[in-house]
Amino acid sequence: MSKVAYHLIHPDRRNTSVVFASPHSGRDYPAWFLQRSILDAQAVRSSEDAFVDLLFAAAPREGAPFLQAGAPRALIDLNRAADELDPALIEGVRKVGHNPRVSSGLGVVPRVVANGQAIYEGKLSRAEVDTRIESYWHPYHAALRSQMDQAHAMFGQAILIDCHSMPHEAMDQVARKGLRRPEVVLGDRFGASANAGIVEEIEQAFRAAGLCVARNTPFAGAYVTQHYGRPSRGRHAVQVEIDRALYMDEQRIEPNANFDAFRMVLNGVIAQIADIGRPADRALAAE
C-alpha cells in the first residue's frame, strides 16, 4: 500500500470544540489502484467530493482541527462502516440482510462510482479488501475518534462537521417549483445525531452567508453521523452537503470562476461555526 490514509491539520491554538472532517475529498490515487480499475483517471474521480478540503481549509485558522481523507472514495469509503461489504464485489462475502448502500454498489469498498459506472472487472479478494480497510479506514477513524475525544475532554462537548459536496442534480427531485433551490443540506439524522440548538446555529451561519439551506432531504447523514453523533453524551455530528455547481465544473472536475469568491463566503461560515464551540466566556477564550 502506498499514499497516506489521512491528513490532519492542527490549529496553532485549539479554542473550540468543533472538529471539521472531510472523508470523501481524498485524491491520493495509488498507481496500483489506477491499474486495477477499468475506468480512466477522469471517470474514477467522479465520486470524489472534489476540492472540499480546499473549501474548508480555513478551519485550523479558526482554532479547529481539520481531518482530511488521503485515500479517494473510489478506493475506500470512509463514510461507511467497516463491515458494509459488497458480496457482488468481494469474494467469499455473503449477503446479510438488506443494506441499500451496499446493494447499490456503495459499500466500504465501492463497486461503482457516479452514475453506476463499474470500477473493476470481476471481483476483489477478501484479503485485498481487508488490507484496504486496515491501511486506510482504521487509521482515519482512529484519528477522528481521537480528535472528538480531545474536544470533549477540553470543552465538555465535541461538535463534528462532516464536510461533503453533492452533485447539482441531486436536488432535482427535492427542489420545489417557485421556491429557491437548496444549496446546502444539513444532515443530523432527523435530530438523532446532534442537539437541535447546535444544528440551528449551524444553519443560521450558512443562511447569514446568503445560502439556501435544507435539512435531511435528500441527505440525512450516513455512517459518520450515525456513529459519532451522541447528543446525550455531548457528542454532536452534522453532515454538510454543498452544491458542487457553486464552485466547480462537475464534468471537468475543475474549480470554476466562482471558486475563490465562494471559498471566501465559506470562510465566514467556518468562523461562525467554530464560534459555536467556544467556551461561554468567549471574550476570555480569545485572549
DSSP 149-218: HHHHHHHS-EEEEEEEEE-GGGGTTTPPTTSPPPSEEEE-TTTTSS-HHHHHHHHHHHHHTT--EEESSS
Mean pLDDT per block of 10 residues along the chain (287 residues) reads: 85 98 96 94 94 98 98 97 96 87 95 94 96 97 98 98 95 79 96 98 98 95 97 98 97 97 98 94 42
Which residues form the domain of 238? 6-286
Is this structure's pTM higher than 0.85? Answer: yes
> Which of the 8 DSSP states describes residue 96?
-
Residue 245 placed within a domain? yes
Residue 1 placed within a domain? no
Structural domain count of the chain: 1
Residue 148 placed within a domain? yes
Which set of grid coordinates corresponds to residue 223? 455512517
pLDDT of residue 281: 52
Residue 83 placed within a domain? yes
pLDDT of residue 282: 44
pLDDT of residue 56: 98
Instruction: Output the domain CATH number for residue 18.
Output: 3.40.630.40
Residue 47 placed within a domain? yes
- Residue type at position 102: V
Residue 203 placed within a domain? yes
Place of cell 491554538: 13
SS3 252: coil
